[in-house]
Amino acid sequence: MKTAIIGLPMVGKTSLFTILTGVHQESRIGSTAVRAGVAKVVDPRLDVLAKLFDPPKITHATVEYLDVPAVSKESLRDPSYVASLRVVDAFAHVLRIFGDETVPHEHGSVDPMRDLQNVETELVLSDLMVVEKRLERLDKDRKKVKNPELDREAELLEKCKQTLEQDTPLRQLSLDADEEKRIRGFQFLSQKPMLYVLNVGEEDAARLHEKEEEFRKLLGTKANTAVAGVGGKIEAELAELSPEEAREYLVSYGLKESGLERLITASYTLLGLMSFLTAGETEVRAWTIPIGSTAVKAAGAIHSDFEKKFIRAEVVNWKSLVDLGGYPGVREKGLLRLEGKEYIVKDGDVLVIRHG
């Protein structure tokens, strides 16, 4: 899963990227300065399973983040910049909630809804240019030859154009499976799922949940969007502490988890993802798959050969495995089930894949 952290200048997006990934040195993708880094998905279940099996290796699921230059009319005219946005699965739009006179906002005041709309409009206009250009080409092609496929594409793009002309992102446009497939190749920016990241000040850190709810009410019902609150300064301080000190620091603000954990969890939910686990004496590991995936697809996430030569999966809930002291205990209680290719894997399932 790849997520681009976007936003206006001076909102804290680069700091957030650094805290998430630990990446400080710039790396370049194409000709545009884009930093890439990986964040570990915190999963307490892995730690509990590791205590049981004591493996030499614990592997968390990960999320890849890109830190890109600020969204603007100018940046969206740069082909390499736009290309770096098209390849991601989702956006995390950092919205500035904090006030700081030493860090002036480019518009002179803090107004997250205004900033949200400004960035959204730029994404919409970028997509509208692509749609109009493709429609011009289709119009010429349809005059030369009769082709029902070209007619269907033109009809769909006209539908997209109407939406975009209303300054509405394509993620809010209802499309059926065939329509989704037809426009997938365009990789429209305004169609990508959007996580709004509220970067609050230290004075509001204890009110993260309230800030999120207040913003959701302002946002209204919008498809393929989610909200997560973080306190940039607090997260930076947490990154310098030991796990025990970090927990005490969070408690002092009345928080159960860090904003970064909430951000990653929200990203998973927004994209319809979950984790299944594998556990043994060599490794305990979390694997990321779409919600609703079958056992054979989960096997393919581990290795393509496992999917091709899948026979069955032994399945048990992670907590049952821990409570009963390992595989012998769950076998004795009849809780280690044999499942076939079509079994729908659940979040927290521990799988043992049997293959040819």
- The pLDDT tens digits of the residues spanning 123-157 come to 999 999 999 999 999 999 998 888 899 999 999 99
Contact present, 219 and 198 (Cβ < 8 Å):
no
Instruction: Tell me the CA end-to-end span of the chain in Å, nearest whole number.
Output: 29
Instruction: Please report which helix (H) or strand (E) contains residue 353, including its range.
Output: strand 349-355
pLDDT band for 40, please (50, 70, 90 cuts). confident
Share of the chain above pLDDT 90, in %: 56
Domain 120-190 coded CATH 1.10.150.300: yes
DSSP conformation letters of 58-72: EE--EEEEEE-PPP-
Distances (CA, A) of 73 to 30, 90, 122: 20, 20, 7
- In the CATH scheme, what is the homologous superfamily, with its name and number, of domain 292-355? Beta-grasp domain (3.10.20.30)
pLDDT at res. 21: 82
pLDDT at res. 19: 80
Residue written as tokens 């700091």? 15
Distances (CA, A) of 36 to 18, 29, 63, 195: 10, 8, 11, 18
Asked if the model's pLDDT at residue 27 lies above 80, the reply is no
Burial class of residue 113 (count of CB atoms within 10 Å of its CB; 0-12, 13-18, 19+)? exposed
Q: What is the DSSP letter of 184?
A: G
Range of weakest confidence among 46-50, 70-74, 104-108, 224-228: 104-108
Asked if the model's pLDDT at residue 197 lies above 80, the reply is yes
Q: Where are the beta strands (DSSP E) in 130-224?
A: 194-199
Contact present, 218 and 196 (Cβ < 8 Å):
no
**Domain boundaries along the sequence of the chain:** 2-42+60-109+192-270, 120-190, 292-355
**What is the pLDDT averaged over residues 207-233?**
86
- Give the pair of three-digit tokens for residue 276: 């299944």
| Cα-to-chain-centroid distance, residue 196 | 11
List the beta bridge partners of residue 32.
29
pLDDT digits (tens, 9 = 90+) for 73-104: 888 888 888 999 999 999 999 999 887 767 76
List the beta bridge partners of residue 37.
65
Share of the chain above pLDDT 70, in %: 97
- Residue 65: phi and psi, rounded to 5, are -115, 145
Average model confidence (pLDDT) across the chain: 89
Asked if the model's pLDDT at residue 356 lies above 50, the reply is yes
Asked if the model's pLDDT at residue 310 lies above 50, the reply is yes
Asked if the model's pLDDT at residue 235 lies above 80, the reply is no
pLDDT digits (tens, 9 = 90+) for 2-12: 899 999 988 88
Listed ranges 198-207, 256-265, 322-331; the one with the highest mean pLDDT: 322-331
pLDDT at res. 28: 46
pLDDT at res. 331: 95
pLDDT at res. 340: 96
Contact present, 215 and 198 (Cβ < 8 Å):
yes
- Residue 271: phi and psi, rounded to 5, are -90, 5
Asked if the model's pLDDT at residue 255 lies above 50, the reply is yes
**What is the pLDDT averaged over residues 162-167?**
96
pLDDT digits (tens, 9 = 90+) for 51-63: 999 999 999 998 8
Q: What is the DSSP letter of 129?
A: H
Q: What CATH number is given for 2-42+60-109+192-270 in this structure?
A: 3.40.50.300
Residue 24, classed as helix, strand or coil, is coil
pLDDT at res. 31: 44
pLDDT at res. 22: 76
242-280 burial code (b ≥16 CB/10 A, e <16): eeeeebeebeeeebeebbbbbbbbbbbebbebbbbbbbe
Q: Where are the beta strands (DSSP E) in the chain?
A: 2-6, 28-29, 32-33, 35-40, 57-59, 62-67, 90-96, 194-199, 225-230, 273-279, 283-290, 310-317, 337-339, 349-355
Residue 240, classed as helix, strand or coil, is coil
Asked if the model's pLDDT at residue 254 lies above 80, the reply is no
pLDDT at res. 24: 61
- Measured between alpha carbons, how far is 194 from 113 in angstroms, rounded to an integer? 14
**What is the pLDDT averaged over residues 174-181?**
92
Contact present, 15 and 232 (Cβ < 8 Å):
yes
Distances (CA, A) of 70 to 8, 28, 85, 346: 5, 16, 12, 38
pLDDT band for 204, please (50, 70, 90 cuts). confident
120-190 has the same fold as 2-42+60-109+192-270: no
Contact present, 229 and 212 (Cβ < 8 Å):
yes
pLDDT band for 205, please (50, 70, 90 cuts). confident
